[in-house]
Chain A
């Protein structure tokens, strides 16, 4: 049930992100990182694939780009989280890595990067909001969870 709610939340975040300008923070990425910090590797990879597939639907000519990038992100976060003592602070690092991976995938395999200004503003907002998003989503979806 919790996994289903997590998928539903990612879908809702996608709906919000698809309705706003590219200057907004990457809500789907934030949600995925927060979910992947608590779920298994396979669930994280599937959640990333689902979120990426949703994002790919807004530009079907490059279907697979976001799916690949976010599936790797989800799997990578779930794989690497055990290396960090406090996952909450590792969120910043994970989000930075995920952003780099996503922009690289879009630039190399997808429809290309947005303008420099929206790219920088959106990335900065995403990084700034990362700890807050992780805290909020953890309390919402995994209330009994304690950091390792």
Chain B
């Protein structure tokens, strides 16, 4: 007598579960989504976690590859520079202190004129400090708070950077155009600029040290009527996608407002001039 009763009870529960599925199907769409949201969060948590971990591993591997390549490139450049300085009889330059700074905000119209970084005077950042990325120059600090700083990028309309053609050593002045590139001004008309040339900072102003990579020449149009040679440069640093930058910390003994610049205190002069002319 008991067995059929239990069986019937089990069947009723089983049919209730089956009918529950049909009832769920008949619920309004929004109500169904609202009901399943917490369940979805719980049941799919391992899948989401696995996807996040997998993505992180892929990102780390890509970043590792990029940094390895960068380290190799820098090692080669360093070796070349050391070789060159030894050839010229110069001592190695003083290394600069870098402060890593995540980008926490940017201008909302172009994404590439202003950045706010989460480092300020408490971290040694001072107005005028150059801001760079592993790819090249990014801009300079123009205002500082205790924990945040405002960075003017090299694509800001007011930005002007003294530059040098790494190959032909021709100096010029870089200013941004409206297409997110740089245009070189005051390059002599007969100067030697070719597509593919690397442009670096000239160290002539009071902000950027000499030799920081800035961009690559992508166009040298032939304009006979122009007074100077028009040169277009593509910056190495993609300012609109930067997530973290490095600030070159200014030495305590110098400041921009002294008007003396600070490069002299961080790097030995590349050419020394004797006080007294040597007699033949």
Binds B, one of A1-9, A21-29, A63-71, A83-91: A63-71
**With A42-B13, A68-B25, A109-B25 as contacts: A57 and B18 at CB distance below 8 Å:** no
**Judging by beta carbons under 8 Å apart, are A75 and B18 in contact?**
yes
Q: List 8 A-B contacts (CB under 8 A).
A: A15-B47, A42-B14, A46-B17, A60-B36, A63-B25, A64-B21, A65-B21, A71-B17
- How many Å from the CB of B117 to the closest CB on chain A? 39
Interface centre among A40, A53, A63 (most CB of B within 10 A): A63
- A142 at the binding interface (Cβ < 8 Å): no
- A49 at the binding interface (Cβ < 8 Å): yes
- B67 at the binding interface (Cβ < 8 Å): no
Bound complex: CA A40 to CA B15 (Å): 13
- How many Å from the CB of A46 to the closest CB on chain B? 6
- Who on chain B is nearest to A52 by CB? B21
**Judging by beta carbons under 8 Å apart, are B39 and A53 in contact?**
yes
**Chain B residues with CB below 8 A from A44, complex form:** 14
- A61 at the binding interface (Cβ < 8 Å): yes
- How many Å from the CB of A105 to the closest CB on chain B? 9
Bound complex: CA A58 to CA B36 (Å): 11
Interface size class, chain A: 20 to 34
- Residues on A lying within 8 angstroms of B by beta carbon are 11, 15, 18-19, 40-42, 44-46, 48-49, 52-54, 56-58, 60-65, 67-69, 71-72, 75, 109
- How many Å from the CB of B10 to the closest CB on chain A? 4
- How many Å from the CB of A51 to the closest CB on chain B? 11
Q: A15-B47, A60-B37, A71-B18 are in contact. List 9 more A-B contacts (CB 8 A).
A: A42-B13, A44-B14, A45-B14, A52-B21, A57-B36, A58-B44, A60-B32, A60-B33, A69-B21
**Judging by beta carbons under 8 Å apart, are A68 and B18 in contact?**
yes
- Residues on B lying within 8 angstroms of A by beta carbon are 7, 10-11, 13-15, 17-18, 20-27, 29, 32-33, 35-37, 39-40, 43-44, 46-47, 50
Give 4 closest A-B pairs by Cβ, nearest first. Answer: A68-B21, A64-B24, A45-B14, A64-B25
**With A41-B10, A109-B25 as contacts: A61 and B17 at CB distance below 8 Å:** no
**Judging by beta carbons under 8 Å apart, are B24 and A67 in contact?**
yes
**Judging by beta carbons under 8 Å apart, are B39 and A57 in contact?**
yes
**Chain B residues with CB below 8 A from A65, complex form:** 21, 25
Bound complex: CA A49 to CA B27 (Å): 17
**Chain B residues with CB below 8 A from A54, complex form:** 43
- How many Å from the CB of A91 to the closest CB on chain B? 20
Bound complex: CA A3 to CA B36 (Å): 24
**Chain A residues with CB below 8 A from B18, complex form:** 45, 49, 68, 71-72, 75
**Chain B residues with CB below 8 A from A41, complex form:** 7, 10-11, 14
**Chain A residues with CB below 8 A from B11, complex form:** 41-42
Interface centre among B13, B29, B43 (most CB of A within 10 A): B43
**With A61-B29, A65-B25 as contacts: A45 and B17 at CB distance below 8 Å:** yes
**Chain B residues with CB below 8 A from A49, complex form:** 17-18, 20-21
Interface centre among A40, A44, A56, A58 (most CB of B within 10 A): A56
Bound complex: CA A64 to CA B18 (Å): 9
